[in-house]
Amino acid sequence: MEIDGHTELYGFIAYPAKHSHSPAMYNCSFRYYDMNACYLAFEVAPDKLSDAVLGIKSLGIRGINLSMPFKKEIIPFLDGITPEAQLVKAVNTVKNENGRLIGETTDGAGLFEDLQAHGWNLKGKKVTILGAGGAGRSIIAAASKYGVSKVNIFKRPNATYTRLQEWVAAVAAKSKTEFNVYPYSDSKRMRAVLKQSDILINATNVGMTEQKLPFEEDMLESLSARQLVYDIIYQPAETVLLKRAKEHGCQVCNGFGMLLWQGALAFEFWTGKKMPVEEVKKILY
């Protein structure tokens, strides 16, 4: 593609941002559709977010993705957010509609789209989620849309535990899915819940920098070959959890597919077109 005066600009805003796979994903998609558009990564310091938002509007940037530390902080600067983003109270995608900035969240849906792409029928499935930070919340909020029957959440009993319980109760009130919140320290409960689960999702950062499991070693005995274990971490590609779960016969997935599919949903949010996922995979994998 040749950049000219009609080229539309999209981008990624984070701090840091230079590690991002997003430019490769979206520029591949623009080329596939022969769109006169390009995507760049912008490293924005946390105290410069308001300046960046003004830049998006004044320069006519058509859409952006956001990562840490901006997913919550950008909301006051937006002109509107989708019901899904309102529920999660976080945004990872913004589109510019004639100067109006509209926020969306695609993280949680991206994980479930990836599971479906792996052949999992999610209707009626029981899901256990470890951790309830930003990523965990987006997964919790998206679960009912994909037909999940039960979601069990384990969270450390810290100062935000009660707030999580209240938030999950609000999510459950609008859903047919059953939601339960348990303290991470309740090992007996975790063992029982894991045995009954179809899918285990690690939404913590345990395993990203340390060779550790997100729970006690003997918890692995609660896993079996009928289950899928999903770790939202994608660097390293195989965490200790995935390696050990594989030894127990489980199907395993890392978070790279979640990254891909949340991007596919963002691309559709901006352009109305389906991301050419198979073409993008050739670039990323």
The CA distance from 273 to 199, in Å, is 30
Same domain, 150 and 276: no
- CA-to-CA distance for 70 and 81, rounded, in angstroms? 15
Q: How does pLDDT run across 159-194, given as a tens digit for each residue? A: 999 999 999 999 999 999 999 999 999 999 999 999
Residue type, 279: E
State the average pLDDT for the chain. 96
Is the residue at 43 inside a domain? yes
Mean pLDDT of 197-220: 94
- Which residues are documented as binding site for shikimate? 20-22, 67, 92, 107, 234, 262
Confidence at residue 72, expressed as pLDDT on a 0 to 100 scale: 93
Q: Is 190 helix (H, G, I), strand (E, B) or coil?
A: helix
The answer on 227 and 150 residing in a single domain is yes
- Counting Cβ atoms within 10 Å, is residue 126 exposed (0-12), middle (13-18) or buried (19+)? middle
Domain that holds residue 77: 8-104+259-282
Structure token pair of residue 208: 């990203």
CB 204 within 8 A of CB 135: no
What integer pLDDT is reported at residue 95 of this predicted model?
A: 98
Sequence-distant (6+) residues with CB within 8 A of 111 are 139, 142, 201, 230, 232, 255, 257, 258, 261, 262
209 and 237 belong to one structural domain: yes
Q: pLDDT-derived band of residue 156, with 50, 70 and 90 as boundaries?
A: very high
At 146, the pLDDT band (50, 70, 90 cuts) reads very high
In a domain? residue 161? yes
**Residue 39 pLDDT level (bands cut at 50, 70, 90):** very high
Query: Cα dist. 170→36, 154, 174, 178 in Å?
Result: 43, 17, 7, 12
Q: What is the mean pLDDT of residues 129-148?
A: 95
Q: Mean per-residue pLDDT for 10-14?
A: 97
Mean local confidence (pLDDT), 242-265: 97
C-alpha dihedral sign at 96, 98, 99, 103: negative
pTM of the entire predicted model: 0.93
Residues 125 and 28 in one domain: no
3 occurs within a structural domain: no
Question: Does residue 225 sit in the same domain as residue 264?
Answer: no
Which pLDDT tens digit goes with each residue over 124-134? 999 999 999 88
Asked if the structure places residue 1 within a domain, the reply is no
List, in sequence order, every beta strand (DSSP E) within 74-188. Answer: 80-81, 93-97, 100-104, 126-130, 150-155, 178-183
**Is 209 found in the same domain as 276?**
no
In the annotated binding site, the residues are 20-22, 67, 92, 107, 131-135, 232, 234, 255, 262
Evaluate whether residue 55 is within a structural domain.
yes
Task: Indicate whether 189 and 224 sit together in one domain.
Answer: yes
Mean pLDDT computed over 65-74: 93
pLDDT of 210 reads: 84
Q: What CATH number does residue 248 fall under?
A: 3.40.50.720
Nearest to 13 by CA among 41, 38, 39, 55: 41
Question: Confidence class of residue 68 from pLDDT cuts 50, 70 and 90?
Answer: confident
Helix (H) or strand (E) holding 269, with range, is: helix 256-271
DSSP state of 160: T
- 129 and 72 in a single domain? The answer is no
The reply to whether 184 falls in a domain is yes
Q: Are residues 163 and 193 in the same domain?
A: yes
Q: What is the pLDDT of residue 209?
A: 86
Please indicate, yes or no, whether residues 21 and 129 belong to a single structural domain of this protein. no
The answer to whether 72 and 88 have CB atoms below 8 angstroms apart is no
CATH number of the domain at 76, please. 3.40.50.10860
pLDDT in tens, 20-30: 999 999 999 99
Residue positions forming the annotated binding site for NADP(+):
131-135, 232, 255
Q: What average pLDDT does range 117-146 have in this prediction? A: 95
Is residue 108 scored above 80 in pLDDT? yes
Per-residue pLDDT at 285: 79
| 80 and 157 co-located in one domain | no
Q: 241, 238, 237, 250: which is closest to 130 by C-alpha? A: 241
> Is the separation of the CB atoms in 229 and 254 below 8 Å?
no
Catalytic residue numbers read 71
Given a cut of 80, whether residue 105 has pLDDT beyond it is: yes
| 2 is a domain residue | no
pLDDT of residue 52: 97
Q: Is the dihedral of CA 111, 116, 118, 124 positive or negative?
A: positive
Q: Which residue has the tokens 């930070």?
A: 133
Neighbour tally for 61: CB within 10 Å: 21
For residue 139, being part of any structural domain is answered with yes
pLDDT at position 9: 98
Total tally of structural domains belonging to the chain: 2
d(CA 55, CA 264): 25
Let me know whether 112 and 218 are in one domain: yes
Q: Once rounded to an integer, what is the mean pLDDT over residues 261-281? A: 98
Question: Is the distance from CB of 217 to CB of 244 less than 8 angstroms?
Answer: no
Query: Alpha-carbon distance 9 to 41, whole Å?
Result: 11
